[in-house]
Amino acid sequence: MTDNTVNGGRGMFGVGGSGDTSGFGGLVRRARVPASIGRPVGVEEFDEVIDGLAEALDGGEAGRDVEKAFASFDEAIERIVVDRGELTLHVRPAAIAQVCQTLRDDDGLRYELCSSVSGVDYPAQDRRLHAVYHLTSMTYRRRIRLECAVSVEDPHLPSVTTVYPTADWQERETYDMFGIIFDGHPNLTRILMPDDWEGYPQRKDYPLGGVPVEYKGAEIPPPDQRRAYR
**The 3-state secondary structure of 127-166, one letter per residue:** CCEEEEEEEEECCCCEEEEEEEEECCCCCEEECCCCCCCC
Residue 63's pLDDT is what? 47
205: in domain: no
Is 72 a domain residue? yes
pLDDT of 44 over the 80 cut: yes
Task: Give per-residue pLDDT as tens, 174-199.
Answer: 999 999 999 999 999 999 999 999 99
Specify whether the CB–CB gap between 76 and 134 falls below 8 A.
Answer: no
Per-residue pLDDT, averaged over 83-106, amounts to 96
- Specify if 14 maps to a domain: no
Cβ atoms of residues 85 and 74 within 8 Å: no
> Which residue range(s) make up the domain with 95?
37-199
Task: Give percent above pLDDT 70 in the chain.
Answer: 80
pLDDT tier, 125 (very low <50, low <70, confident <90, very high otherwise): very high
What percent of the chain is modeled with pLDDT above 90?
65
How far apart CA 200 and CA 208 sit, in angstroms, is 11
Residue 99 has pLDDT above 60, yes or no: yes
Judge whether 187 lies within some domain.
yes
Residue of 158, 166, 145 lying closest to 103 (CA atoms): 145
Buried b (16+ CB within 10 A) or exposed e, 54-71: bbbbeeeebbeebebbbe
Q: Is residue 215 part of a domain?
A: no
Has residue 10 got a pLDDT over 70? no
Q: Number of folded domains in the chain?
A: 1
Q: Report the CATH number at residue 104.
A: 3.30.460.80
Spatial contact of 132 and 150, defined as CB atoms under 8 Å apart: no
Q: What is the mean pLDDT of residues 96-111?
A: 96
Characterise 35 by phi-psi region: left (phi > 0), alpha (psi -120 to 50), beta (else). beta
Tell me, yes or no, whether 152 lies in a domain. yes
Instruction: Establish if 227 belongs to a structural domain.
Output: no
pTM of whole model > 0.85? no
- The answer to whether residue 133 sits within a structural domain is yes
Residues sharing a CB contact under 8 Å with residue 96, sequence separation 6 or more, in sequence order: 131, 133, 146, 148, 157, 158, 160
